[in-house]
Homo-oligomer: A and B are copies of this chain.
């Protein structure tokens, strides 16, 4: 019986709980029996060695906005027995907390970790992966990059044996939405941004997205985890999309190009950069809407491209479940 603890019960945590609940039978057939023995948020949590009632947890969170007080995530790590932690607290790329401490404490105890939290990986990927290795635990993080766009395991598994020369991608759906609407409608950046805010595609303070911070954080994870590099967030050359004008699109389109915010790490060219780039209109990275895409340049397989939904609680849950499957398939 696999015992799961979920740390973080926002949209992603609830999405995971819903999938475990709704698809329990299917998942049990894939990786064996499991139960969720703890669920926590920043205020409290629910613990039950026999399995937390996930439907009830979701309902409590929906009604009261918080789980019952009186228990902390660190209490759970210290006092509850579990095999895998699903760490889905909010990303903080300054110091990685609180996720970083959660992940460290789990890995130290040999507990496998599946996370959607970019912060700890941006701040301390190398330390965490060494810690995992030393303690015979595994750290899985498909959901940190590109939501349901499969990239991490695709490179590690499906392209195993390949030298990875470069990865270029569209890693931020908000920017891509804004740019692809500017392409189609030639409205100003500010007009489209205002609409994106209304639609909930952009945050009230959109700087994390439009300044390329989110894409750069993901690029750091890609460089360190998939290309054997050891780079920090500060190493990324970064230009956002705020200065792009409808006229720039006009000129680009005349030549058969569009403009996209491209995150790229290229070992051959020595590039680690997030910036608006010209992309040929029919290029696989010239995608529209809030999609994410990545182009992986390899020695054997040539170029491989993946496109998928970069965000959403269901989509992120899909990535987390795929990590759980990978963990448990290899265990049994």
Contacts and interface: CB of A to CB of B under 8 A. Distances in A.
A159 B142 CA distance: 11
A212 B131 CA distance: 52
Contacts of A300: 19, 148, 314-315, 317-318, 321
Binding site secondary structure of chain A = mixed
> By CB atoms of chain B within 10 A, which of A149, A157, A287, A301 has the most?
A301
A135 interface: no
Given A150-B154, A284-B287, A318 B330 contact: no
Contact of A282 (B23, B281, B306, B330): B281
Interface string A144-158: 000011100110011
Interface string A295-324: 000101111111111001011011101101
Given A150-B304, A304-B149, A304-B306, A157 B282 contact: no
A315 B298 CA distance: 10
Given A288-B282, A315-B300, A325 B157 contact: yes
A308 B315 contact: no
A65 interface: no
Nearest to A160: B325
Nearest to A308: B304
Contact of A308 (B150, B161, B302): B302
A308 B308 contact: no
A301 B319 CA distance: 8
A307 B286 CA distance: 14
A74 to B, nearest CB: 29
A321 B156 CA distance: 12
Contacts of A301: 148, 308-309, 314-315, 318-319
Contacts of A307: 284, 304-307
A197 interface: no
A26 B162 CA distance: 9
A301 B30 CA distance: 18
Contacts of A302: 148, 308-309, 312, 314-315
Interface in A157-179: 157-162
B153 A158 contact: yes
Nearest to A320: B161
Interface in A1-53: 19, 23, 26-27, 30
A153 B157 contact: yes
Contacts of A142: 158
A326 interface: yes
10 contacts: A26-B161, A157-B322, A162-B318, A282-B286, A300-B317, A301-B314, A301-B319, A304-B307, A305-B305, A306-B306
The 6 closest A-B pairs by CB, nearest first: A148-B301, A150-B158, A300-B318, A161-B321, A160-B325, A305-B307
Given A157-B326, A157-B329, 17 more contacts: A19-B161, A142-B158, A148-B304, A149-B304, A150-B158, A157-B157, A157-B322, A158-B322, A159-B322, A160-B321, A161-B322, A161-B325, A300-B314, A301-B314, A302-B314, A305-B306, A306-B306
